[in-house]
Amino acid sequence: MPAVSKGDGMRGLAVFISDIRNCKSKEAEIKRINKELANIRSKFKGDKALDGYSKKKYVCKLLFIFLLGHDIDFGHMEAVNLLSSNKYTEKQIGYLFISVLVNSNSELIRLINNAIKNDLSSRNPTFMCLALHCIANVGSREMAEAFAGEIPRILVAGDTMDSVKQSAALCLLRLYKASPDLVLMGEWTSRVVHLLNDQHMGVVTAAISLITCLSSKNPDEFKTCVSLAVSRLSRIVSSASTDLQDYTYYFVPAPWLSCKLLRLLQCYPPPEDGAVKGRLVECLETILNKAQEPPKSKKVQHSNAKNAILFEAISLIIHYDSEPNLLVRACNQLGQFLQHRETNLRYLALESMCTLASSEFSHEAVKTHIETVINALKTERDVSVRQRAADLLYAMCDRSNAKQIVAEMLSYLETADYSIREEMVLKVAILAEKYAVDYSWYVDTILNLIRIAGDYVSEEVWYRVIQIVINRDDVQGYAAKTVFEALQAPACHENMVKVGGYILGEFGNLIAGDPRSSPLVQFNLLHSKFHLCSVPTRALLLSAYIKFINLFPETKATIQEVLRSDSQIRNSDVELQQRAVEYLKLSSIASTDVLATVLEEMPPFPERESSILAKLKKKKGPGAVSVELEDGKERGELNGGGDRGGDAAIAASNASTPSPSADLLGLRSTAPASGATPSAGSLLVDVFSEAGPSATSAGVNDDGFLRFVCKNNGVLFENQLLQIGIKSEYRQNLGRMYLFYGNKTSVQFVSFNTTVSCPGELFRSTKTVEPLVEGGAQVQQVINIECLTDFIDAPLLNIKFRYGGALQNISLKLPVTINKFFQPTEMAAADFFQRWKQLSQPQQEAQKIFKASHGMDTEVLKAKLLGLGTALLENVDPNPENYVCAGVIQTKAQQVGCLLRLEPNAQAQMYRLTLRSSKDTVSQRVCDLLAEQF
């Protein structure tokens, strides 16, 4: 056991730690720990009152055991007792224990808060600091409630010691981050800002973190900090290395504070005041100049501290994006770092240049470093550096260098680390599409991509190449030729077979003139791959075959033979079997004309945002692809211009049934443009429903909403990642809704966060959910709702979480509709008609006549009307075909009686729906909602 250097107090603890270290096995360790736990337990329970020292020692042992990774379920009370000890070390251990093992046990929290309160008012700076550290370490809401009012006072009081001010500033920051609603800065704002002028550098260093956070949230209230920060920065930058004494770090004056000042300034636009701005530009120039000076020390700490400031200054220059001179200087400086022998600097230079590349002033300057960056991609030994190089190449790519960059990225892909391949593939696909000048290059690139990294080519990538080939008739012949050649390879990736099948099925005729690629040769080539492929690909190939029968009548007999074979027509897979049977029949029954019509070439796809781009955004979060967003025009050219609004994503979200195989023909729905019918057969919808997650970022999804007007339970939303189930119950004007969030993946969702925003007519209370949803797990959230008065807008549920690093954002309408607050009312015919007549003013009635969109089955209709919440009245309407209902809508403000009449017309497949109620808005709303249900 080594000699404990200072403050040796707890020999028993050292012995215990030593014992644990000597344990030969995990079992021995557990045994020793259990023995110790039993010992401590008996000591705590024993009759003899423990003195403070023993208590401290045992609490410290428990802490050690906990930090080893074992559970501790006692000792909290003893730790709390230590807090009120007047011996510093006992108090200190008590606080440490509480900080590490917070227990939300309300009784304890009250005791802890009491002890903290005492220490805060003790006027003993050491005790005050301990208490503040504890609050900052725990940072719970209860603590914020208890102390958020007191701490600002301590922070700005004239007689507070500097060390206490420092702790108070950061303690307040922690509370503000955890519970911003509880920390009210109003009256303190100006005094807090003026801490930037404090004489004590430590106070400024601590306070600036607080000020930066507050400024980023309330920039206007804190904007006076800009000029203060600039003058402070200017004083530091121009000071000699020895001026700041202990705040000089390896000859660099106050590097931490400098970085924080530069960071604070990034919360604001460039200063408007000319003098302030001039001073700041001077500072930035000085920092850039200093980078060129010879180092004052060979220590890495010196250069790190100096460069930390430099990088932060460059961030500020990029943030302002308004000083071309500084931007170009920054770029040159980073260029030097690109070849530095320090890996860290190369890494940071690549990272920083990525943002510089998006500025119009420095884009060209960044491009001059292309060879160095390509070299980094090829030769860096560290994958994280190579990743940065790939990111930078992507960011600096434009029309002038696209071919070079894409070629380099493709060749890098052959040896790229598995961890970054998928992202690389997406990037290559996007660049190829965005900067394609001729389409043959685009097609070549994508096919190469599939050849080199087929496993990492997601569905979106090959869907996209097909969309583009279909929309551009000048590339179709080339595409058919190229894909035909690619398919010659003995081992070719299944994605290649998919593209090949689709393209030859559509455009095989364009190369059929050449005897080397005659129809039969084409067919045999495709069919030679058939047996190695998965079911969805085989399904696609079958569709290609039937297209062949139309394109090349001479292949009909051969293909019919194939379709007729047992392995097709009796295939155990239903989809394959069905296709084989249907296509066989189609080819034998239909006349050439019918066949030609049914199997016509696919119509062009509507222009929409690239599904690949959506996928990359999903992977990297919204910030990562900002370049493309600004740059929509260029992509437009490739797709033939036109609007490229967000309708793609919306179309995708409408497609509720993603089919596993993209149907080549769209046989089952002959109107391919009607994206609204979510039929599994429609190709347009199909293609994008596969791209499911991209839809999640689309506006509000109210798909599920209308399905819940007449029912309370079911699946509200589902995509590839998440399923949201719903269960709700209503009584009078109150409702309770249970939301079940199911993680469909095997990876955990982090930062899972849901918010519900309600229209003013509804009141709700929500419990927050845990920020972590494990793979395969389901979490529940309860929402209580109170209907204050009648309403139209539904509450909005917003869900945010990170999946594999990418931010997911889903907005849904919660199916809370006015009819949920119906109380059924039974009444006789006479009563009904009497009331009906009473409600005869025109605004009290709402009526709709509409076509039946589902069957008119009586039982289904009844079930829906009951589901609406009203009473279904029998023998009231003289016409037995009609339905009448009555109910009262319960809101907090009033009750609204409501009568309903639904008249089906089976012959015309139409309905007439009439609503009467004492309130016009209610009649209209219920009528609108119900009309969508039949």
Partner 1 sequence: MMRFMLLFSRQGKLRLQKWYTATAERDKKKMVRELMQVVLARKPKMSSFLEWRDLKIVYKRYASLYFCCAVEEQDNELITLEVIHRFVELLDKYFGSVCELDIIFNFEKAYFILDEFLIGGEIQDTSKKSVLKAIEQADLLQEVHTHTHHREKK
Binding positions are 11-12, 43, 53, 57-61
Q: Contacts with partner 1 in 609-668 (CB under 8 A)?
A: 621
Binding window for partner 1 (CB under 8 A); candidates: 60-68, 282-290, 330-338, 498-506:
60-68
What ranges in 435-551 are assigned the alpha helix state H? 439-453, 459-471, 473-487, 494-507, 519-530, 535-551
Q: Which of these, 195, 122, 134, lies nearest to 165 by C-alpha position? A: 195
Smallest distance, partner 1 to C-beta of residue 616, A: 16
Distances (CA, A) of 508 to 518, 551, 592: 9, 8, 18
Among 58, 222, 247, 548, binds partner 1 (CB under 8 A): 247
Compose the 15-54 pattern: x for residues touching partner 1 by CB under 8 A, - for all others.
Answer: x-xx--x-------------------------------x-
850 bridge partner residues: 911
DSSP, residue by residue, 617-631: HHHH-GGGGHHHHHT
916 bridge partner residues: 845, 899
Q: Which are the contacts of 416, defined by CB distance < 8 A and separation ≥ 6?
A: 386, 424, 453
Between the two ends of the chain, the Cα-to-Cα distance in Å is 81
Binding window for partner 1 (CB under 8 A); candidates: 125-133, 523-531, 711-719, 865-873:
125-133
Binding window for partner 1 (CB under 8 A); candidates: 188-196, 247-255, 478-486, 708-716:
247-255
Smallest distance, partner 1 to C-beta of residue 419, A: 11
User: Considering the rule CB under 8 A, would residue 721 count as an interface residue with partner 1?
Assistant: no
Q: Which is nearer to partner 1, 205 or 445 (CB)?
A: 205
Reduce the DSSP state of residue 33 to 3 states and report it.
helix
Q: Contacts with partner 1 in 759-818 (CB under 8 A)?
A: 770, 772, 802, 805
User: Considering the rule CB under 8 A, would residue 206 count as an interface residue with partner 1?
Assistant: yes
User: Considering the rule CB under 8 A, would residue 93 count as an interface residue with partner 1?
Assistant: yes
Dihedrals φ, ψ of 783, to 5°? -125, 125
Task: Copy the structure tokens of residue 12.
Answer: 């028993």
User: Considering the rule CB under 8 A, would residue 209 count as an interface residue with partner 1?
Assistant: yes
How many CB atoms neighbour CB 263 within 10 A?
Answer: 18
Q: Which is nearer to partner 1, 19 or 221 (CB)?
A: 19
CB 212 within 8 A of CB 195: no
Distance separating alpha carbons of residues 341 and 338, to the nearest angstrom: 9
Q: Which is nearer to partner 1, 215 or 509 (CB)?
A: 215
Q: Which of these, 740, 836, 809, 743, lies nearest to 781 by C-alpha position? A: 740
Q: Which is nearer to partner 1, 170 or 876 (CB)?
A: 170
Distances (CA, A) of 852 to 451, 845, 904, 908: 51, 21, 9, 9
Q: Which is nearer to partner 1, 72 or 542 (CB)?
A: 72
Smallest distance, partner 1 to C-beta of residue 344, A: 5
Residue whose structure tokens are 């969030």 = 741
Q: Which is nearer to partner 1, 60 or 544 (CB)?
A: 60
DSSP state for residue 774 in the 8-state scheme: -
Smallest distance, partner 1 to C-beta of residue 133, A: 5
Q: Contacts with partner 1 in 295-334 (CB under 8 A)?
A: 301, 304-305, 307-308, 311-312
Phi-psi bin for 198: left (phi > 0), alpha (psi -120 to 50), beta? beta
Reduce the DSSP state of residue 541 to 3 states and report it.
helix
Compose the 582-611 pattern: x for residues touching partner 1 by CB under 8 A, - for all others.
Answer: ------------------------------
Smallest distance, partner 1 to C-beta of residue 783, A: 23
Among 33, 116, 257, 691, binds partner 1 (CB under 8 A): 257
Smallest distance, partner 1 to C-beta of residue 246, A: 4
Among 129, 390, 461, 546, binds partner 1 (CB under 8 A): 129
Q: Which is nearer to partner 1, 258 or 543 (CB)?
A: 258
Among 23, 41, 44, 64, binds partner 1 (CB under 8 A): 64
Distance separating alpha carbons of residues 885 and 289, to the nearest angstrom: 83
Task: Copy the structure tokens of residue 921.
Answer: 């808005």
138 bridge partner residues: none
Distance separating alpha carbons of residues 66 and 455, to the nearest angstrom: 45
Among 36, 92, 504, 563, binds partner 1 (CB under 8 A): 92
Task: Copy the structure tokens of residue 519.
Answer: 């129809």
Compose the 413-452 pattern: x for residues touching partner 1 by CB under 8 A, - for all others.
Answer: ----------------------------------------
Q: Contacts with partner 1 in 332-391 (CB under 8 A)?
A: 343-344, 346-348, 381-382, 384-385, 387
Binding window for partner 1 (CB under 8 A); candidates: 58-66, 493-501, 517-525, 660-668:
58-66
Reduce the DSSP state of residue 717 to 3 states and report it.
strand
User: Considering the rule CB under 8 A, would residue 255 count as an interface residue with partner 1?
Assistant: yes
User: Considering the rule CB under 8 A, would residue 9 count as an interface residue with partner 1?
Assistant: yes
Q: Contacts with partner 1 in 166-205 (CB under 8 A)?
A: 166-167, 170-171, 173-174, 177-178, 201-202, 205
Q: What is the 3-state secondary structure (H, E, C) of 340-386?
A: CCCHHHHHHHHHHHHHHCCCCCCHHHHHCCHHHHHHHHHHCCCHHHH
Compose the 734-753 pattern: x for residues touching partner 1 by CB under 8 A, - for all others.
Answer: ----------------xx--
CB 809 within 8 A of CB 696: yes
Task: Copy the structure tokens of residue 544.
Answer: 């290609």
